[in-house]
Chains A and B, each alone.
Chain A
Amino acid sequence: METNTEKQEYTITVYTENQVGLLNRIAIIFSRRKINVESLNTSPSEITGIHRFTIVVMESRDVVLKVVRQIEKQVEVLKAYFNTNDEIVWQELALYKVLSEEITEKVKVERLLREYGARAVAIRKDFIVFETTGHREETNKLMKALEPFGLVEFVRSARVAIIKESSGFHEKLKDFEKREPSEDVIENEYLGKREAVFTM
């Protein structure tokens, strides 16, 4: 197991109520500690009305643990988890805009698409937009490949991630709705587990 002070990529998953301003409440927890957010995504979750934040930071386990507790302390936050990359399945989506003339002249587009698992999502006389999903290295590879042929625009989405060990939030939510929650729902369930805190 890595040491607790070594920095690495952590993916923080936060289940929240849907309320105006919550994004800011969560964001200032990071900015107050001068932690750069590498990627942030908000989306609906498996449960109607419950939102799911996916936040990626490069930090030590010690710092992430404290930050996660501060996040959980926010009134509208139901639960927050943090995971290393080997504990999640994640994807990012990237779009690339290239000039049609340039790319069709110089590259075998079908080969490019196959090689990088890309799709053409828009084909016009003047430009083409490709799309790939994958890890950062994969989306970067296509960017590198397209650069010589005049990559006009590039954009990559935030990370979305699924926790491998997770059994979803439905059961947990039922517990939250009770006045007397089970032990499982209690914040700080990491405590006492120490080294094996990442399970859900």
Chain B
Amino acid sequence: MATKTLEKEQGELLSKVAVPTKKLTGSQAVLEACIAEGADTIFGYPGGAIMPIYDALYDYNDKLTHILVRHEQGGIHAGQGYARTSGKVGVVFATSGPGATNLVTGLADAMIDSTPLVCITGQVFAHLLGTDAFQETDIINITMPVTKWNYQITDATEIPGILAKAFYLARSGRPGPVLIDISKNAQIQSFDYEGYTPCNHIRSYRPTPVIRKKYIDEAVALINNAKKPLVIFGQGVILGKAEKEFKKFIEKSGMPAAWTILGLSALPTDHPQNVGMLGMHGNYGPNVLTNECDVLIAVGMRFDDRVTGRLDKYAKQAKVIHLDIDPSEIDKNVKATVGVWGDCKETLPLLTLGLQEKDRSEWLKVFADYTQQEYDQCIKEEIYPTGKEMTMGEVIRIVNETTQGNAVMVTDVGQHQMVTCRYAKFNESRSNVTSGGLGTMGFGLPAAIGAKFGAPNRTVIGIIGDGGIQMTIQEFGTIMQTGVDVKIMILNNQFLGMVRQWQELFNEKRYSFVDIQSPDYVMVAKAYGIAGAKVEDRKDLVQAIQTMLAHKGSYMLEVMVGKENNVFPMVPQGCSVSEIRLK
């Protein structure tokens, strides 16, 4: 009954603005802001407190695409996937209470991985705030540590200004998630709409620091005098849209460059100076040689503990140059000899300008030697296995051969993620979407859906383990309803593989609750109207992958891989990067 009255009330309000006057409801103002910001795709899920916005959305169908997900967590991960492939701000709608709290994991993930998002949550009527009303939760305080900024609106007149600020904050400087909570009365309230003005300045907010010549000069001198410089780069290069600038920078002085998993695809994987992946499951050379280089140049990365291993034994011999847009990252984990703060799109060309052209083929040869050792002892058996069981590495190798490195690969979290990042080939930027900092299982499937909406002309392959897929498998429903063309590969080792690997290596094979059962994925997919197949024998693998990629529309391919394979090399936790183990 109450709903009906409300609908009537909304109807009356809407009929008032049907004629082109300057009166808009708060809900309409929200949607106008999305249009003005170019947010063409919204991922969301309706509910009581956000109903006025959904009601307004009914009339905006021609201007905005709304993707109905199956769970708000799926919605926000899809928003992240969209943002990561498109470079735009992802927009997510959810209702109050449980709808809003279901966003928290995605917010934390977007916060630590610097993904631009604007999340709009409905909230109970302003006069009910603090009364423990139905579906009321204090989402502002809940999400404070996991948002770049958040704000509660209780008066519709604030909506245009606050949303402009939200989009600006989400995408500028070091990007991040912003949450705007709008009480139901503000959504319904009609007000004099004076148009939408994008925000580009907030006096207390400095998104891009001024570049200081002094530090550019110091950094250039260090690099020019370096005998064994090593560049390590992260997602900052991609977020700063500085891939070209970065390539020029390393090419001019011939420096080897290694990446963090979020930096992956900023530089083509087959670039001659791309020496591989850093960190716990990274490549042999870049890890060992981090402790042998004389100048370490970090670009848009934050020295995560999975990259550095034991900090007091990390690159102690090297002078460190750290380029970052976020001043709080410099000196946070690793002391910088020279901190070059600023947008790397601007700082990299300034550095390049001063660099001397150098031939560093001998230094690159050292990396090549390590690569060869790693190949012989570790990679070869992983991608061309001689055993009966299929390996994740060979699956990725065949995917590479089929896509020629042109697909977007979205991964979940665990062994398959490390293997994919290690072996996937990428020719262009924004091709690797994964949950790096937070390590969110369940990220893969919804992020793959969002990634396809963000890059509709590209092939998107979600590579997911048998654990992670079961965390957000309900998003098969989103694929079904939208008909989005994503290819889902489940690499099934019948275990929570990464935890099992650690239990094998560090807990004397005490396999505690890692033996996870799976449903019949082909039947599950079928129930959702998604074509699928299962491969249990190597002889069918190539054909199955080709069939999947040639299939028109979404497809699910389950590959049964070896149960107890481990990801190597590995820097055991608490060890130095030089103590990396090949087996």
Do A and B interact with each other, yes or no? yes
- Which residues of A are at the interface with B, using a C-beta cutoff of 8 A? 16-17, 20-21, 24-25, 28, 32, 65-66, 69-70, 72-73, 75-78, 173, 176-177, 179, 181-183, 185-188, 191-192
Q: Bound state CA distance, A186 and B169, in angstroms? A: 17
Q: B575 within 8 Å of A by Cβ?
A: no
Chain B residues within 8 Å of A69, by CB: 327-328, 332
Chain B residues closer than 8 Å to A78, beta-carbon distance: 203-204
Q: Are A186 and B209 in contact (CB under 8 A)?
A: yes
Residues of B within 8 A of A191 (CB): 327, 330-331, 339, 341
Please, could you name 16 A-B residue pairs with CB atoms under 8 Å apart, sorted by A? A16-B204, A24-B141, A25-B144, A65-B331, A73-B326, A75-B149, A76-B204, A179-B201, A182-B210, A185-B206, A186-B327, A186-B341, A187-B206, A187-B328, A188-B339, A191-B331
A39 to chain B, nearest CB (A): 22
- Give chain A nearest CB distance to B119 CB in angstroms: 16
B328 in complex: contacting residue of A21, A25, A32, A72, CB < 8 Å = A72
A176 B203 Cβ-Cβ under 8 A: yes
Tell me whether A21 and B203 are in contact (CB under 8 A): no
* Cα distance, A188 to B145, chains bound together (Å): 21
Kindly list chain A residues whose C-beta atoms are within 8 Å of the C-beta of B202: 75
List B contacts of A28 (CB < 8 A). Answer: 144-145
Contact count A vs B, C-beta below 8 Å: 71
The answer to whether the Cβ of B416 comes within 8 Å of any Cβ in the partner chain is no
Give min CB distance, B25 to chain A, whole Å: 24
- Chain B residue at minimum C-beta to C-beta distance from A185: B206
Chain B residues whose C-beta falls within 8 Å of the C-beta of A65 in the assembled complex: 331
Contacts A21-B141, A176-B204 hold; do A188 and B330 have CB atoms under 8 A apart? yes
Pairwise interchain contact A186-B210, C-beta atoms closer than 8 A: yes
Q: How many residues of B contact A (CB 8 A)?
A: 28
User: Which A residue's beta carbon lies closest to that of B340?
Assistant: A191
- B288 within 8 Å of A by Cβ? no
Top 7 nearest A-B pairs by Cβ distance? A188-B327, A69-B328, A187-B327, A78-B204, A176-B203, A75-B149, A186-B209
A108: shortest Cβ distance to chain B, in Å? 52
| Docked CA distance A179–B172 (Å) | 14
List B317-347 residues whose CB lies under 8 Å from chain A.
Answer: 326-328, 330-332, 339, 341
- B:132-179 near A, CB below 8 Å: 140-141, 144-145, 148-150, 152, 169
A residues within 8 A CB of B326? 73
**Is B212 on the interface with A (CB-CB < 8 A)?**
yes
Distance A54 CA – B169 CA, assembled complex (angstroms): 27
B513 is an interface residue with CB less than 8 A from chain A: no
B506 contacts chain A at the CB level, 8 A cutoff: no
When the two chains form their complex, are residues B203 and A177 in contact, meaning their CB atoms are under 8 A apart? yes
Shortest B172–chain A CB gap in Å is 11
B332: A residues at CB distance < 8 A? 66, 69
B214 at the interface (CB under 8 A from A): yes
Q: Say whether A183 contacts B145, CB under 8 Å.
A: no
A16 to B202, CA, bound (A): 12
Residues of chain A contacted by B152 (CB below 8 angstroms): 20
**Which residue on chain A has the smallest CB distance to residue B178?**
A75
Known contacts A183-B210, A191-B339; is A17 also within 8 Å of B327 by CB? no
Is the Cβ of B206 less than 8 Å from the Cβ of A21? no
Q: Please give, as numbers and ranges, the residues of chain A lying within 8 Å of B140 by CB-CB distance.
A: 21
Bound-complex Cα distance A177 to B204 (A): 8
Known: A25-B144, A32-B145. A70 touches B212 (CB 8 A): no
Expressed in whole angstroms, the Cα–Cα distance for A109 and B215 within the complex equals: 63
Q: How far is the CA of A35 from the CA of B469 in the complex (A)?
A: 39
C-alpha gap A187/B331 in the complex (Å): 14
Contact between A70 and B328, CB atoms less than 8 A apart: yes
The answer to whether A188 and B204 touch across the interface, beta carbons within 8 angstroms, is: no
Distance (Å) between the CB of A15 and the closest chain B CB?
Answer: 9
A24 to B143, CA, bound (A): 11
* A75 adjacent to B328 (CB under 8 Å): no
- Alpha-carbon separation in the docked complex, A73 to B332 (Å): 13
The answer to whether B169 and A75 have CB atoms under 8 Å apart is yes
B149 and chain A: residue at smallest CB distance = A75
Taking A32-B145, A192-B215 as known contacts, 19 extra A-B pairs with beta carbons closer than 8 A to each other, sorted by chain A number, are: A21-B150, A66-B331, A72-B328, A73-B326, A73-B328, A75-B205, A176-B203, A176-B204, A179-B201, A182-B210, A183-B212, A186-B210, A186-B327, A188-B327, A188-B328, A188-B330, A191-B330, A192-B212, A192-B339
